[in-house]
Amino acid sequence: MEKLNVIISGGGTGGHIFPAISIANGIKEINPKANILFVGATGRMEMEKVPAAGYEIIGIPAQGLRRPLYHPYNIKVAFDYFRCKIKARKIIKDFKPNIVVGVGGYASAPIVGVAAKSKIPTLLQEQNSFAGIVNRTNGKHADKICVAYDGMERFFPKEKIMITGNPIRKDIVKSTPQMREEAYRFYNLDPKKKTIFVVGGSLGCRTLNDCMKDEISKGKLFASDVEGSCQVIWQCGKIYKDEVDAFMENHKGVNVFHTHFIQRMDLAYAAADIVISRAGAGTISELCVAGKCTIFVPSPNVSEDHQTHNAMALVHKYAAMMVRDDAAGKELFPCVDKLLKNPAKIQEMERNILALGKKDAAAVIARECIILSGIKK
């Protein structure tokens, strides 16, 4: 029997890398003997995260264009892309993949492009509701395009699209009463109080952290001695750890559990009545499966404002609320306060966001990869 060889290309951010690893794991569950090779951008986080997950990775000198397009640095970018194409041809010749998967990010452009020209089956996975430029370009030649949102025929040929959702961690599920009780114990929370979960990503979010500090300083919503106050799980992020630790030293009389990184995200979701979050595709997919009432504060510092597009896709379905980053200081916690006073609205948003959840996305995409490869498991 012919062995299944798979190349998964792309990366640059966790939003590309972690779905890619989930797809690889899904393929391995179906075909444990499959050979999987990752191709990423030299010097980017995939070069660390992929080996940590147990997979081999090769780096290529891929990088994005700078704005404006006539920026002198883009001469180097163009030269490096030519080098990437040469290396991509060698990788494909040596590894002989039966299928090539592109998850977005500049490293996926040359690999998917060379594979398509070589008549090797290709599959793209687009995480966002506004497709990235690399996937939009590769989509013209790909055999199948797995997406998480409706309306993606704006970017890709309709006949190639398959709505699968985004791959997420296996431990993220809709919480049970038992999980909620465990979460209260784990985070030392009061079961009688409403819980807010504030999460700005592993590195952190200046806007959300500033909003939290302002609200704590007011001494009302989170104060332990105020009747009707609520409690908070606050992931402040790695780069803000020292700053937030120092702030909390001076504000000990509040119902706030703070940490730079949440180890048990499943329990944080289980405890939360309301989640405040950035609007990355992976986080949104987890919140849909968990069925959490969410206020999104999209990052303005992302390509093509894709986080706003992601959030609005849910807002239009009454499955979430959104506050703009530049308005968060004035609007975020008044929005939280209104929700806390309207349990029916919280329940409605929970129902609507849960209806959008797709728990088995990684397995569905993995099966599609194997079908396209033509290799029987």
Whether 151 is in a domain gets the answer yes
> Tens of pLDDT along 118-173?
999 999 999 999 998 899 999 999 999 999 999 999 999 999 999 999 999 888 99
Q: For position 162, what pLDDT does the model report?
A: 97
Per-residue confidence (pLDDT) for residue 228, from 0 to 100 = 67
Range of the domain at 70: 5-167+359-373
Domain count, the chain: 2
Confidence of residue 34 (pLDDT cuts 50, 70, 90): very high
pLDDT of residue 227: 64
At residue 224 the predicted structure's pLDDT band, cuts being 50, 70 and 90, is low
Give the neighbor-by-neighbor strand order of the sheet with 256-259.
256-259, 231-235, 195-199, 274-277, 294-296, 321-322
- In this structure, the dihedral spanned by the alpha carbons of residues 375, 106, 151 and 323, taken in order and rounded to 10 degrees, is 130
Indicate whether 146 belongs to any domain: yes
The helix or strand, by DSSP H or E, that contains position 100, with its residue range, turns out to be strand 99-102
pTM score of the predicted model: 0.86
CA distance readout (Å), 154 to 90, 103, 104, 150: 34, 18, 17, 10
As a whole number of angstroms, the distance between CA 160 and CA 143 comes to 6
Domain identity same for 135 and 160: yes
- Which residue reads 């997979």 in tokens? 55
- Tens digit of each residue's pLDDT (9 = 90 or more) over 334-343: 999 999 999 9
- The pLDDT tens digits for 79-123 are 888 899 999 999 999 999 999 999 998 899 999 999 999 999 999
Residues 229 and 259 in one domain: yes
Question: Residues 254-266: what's their mean pLDDT?
Answer: 92
My answer on whether 122 and 207 are in the same domain is: no
Say yes or no to pLDDT of 189 above 60.
Answer: yes
Residues in the chain: 377
Residues 6+ apart with CB under 8 A from 159: none
Largest CA distance in the chain: 69
Q: Looking at the structure, tell me whether residues 78 and 95 fall in a common domain.
A: yes
pLDDT in tens, 37-91: 999 999 888 999 999 999 999 999 888 777 777 788 778 877 888 899 999 999 9
